[in-house]
Amino acid sequence: MKSLALVIADLIDNFRNKSHTQLGPKGVFYFGHSANVFSAIVRLGFAKDTTPLLSSNFNDMRNRKWKSLYLSLFASNL
């Protein structure tokens, strides 16, 4: 199995090739568990909040971007 860094690099290369040359596969699929999806989301910089979630600011962070319920259920796509 490829490491996460290689998977992300491959994914970005596929997007770049497709956007610049229109060449390459019509789809690239990677399969894994929610932990893999969370790792990829973090590595790509998605759902990054500017304020860290703490017990003292929990009520203020109700509209935070990082909510595991919305980012990855048992089965999800990225």
pLDDT of residue 2: 66
pLDDT of residue 57: 94
Q: Does any domain span residue 78?
A: no
Q: Does any domain span residue 29?
A: yes
> Residue 18: which domain range?
4-71
pLDDT tens for each residue of the chain, 78 residues long: 568 888 888 888 888 888 888 877 888 888 877 888 888 888 888 888 999 989 999 999 999 998 888 877 766 666
The set of residues, in sequence order, having a beta carbon less than 8 Å from that of 67 and lying 6+ positions away, is: 47
Q: Does any domain span residue 77?
A: no
pLDDT of residue 15: 86
Q: Does any domain span residue 76?
A: no
Contact (CB, 8 A) for 73 and 34: yes
How many structural domains does the chain have? 1
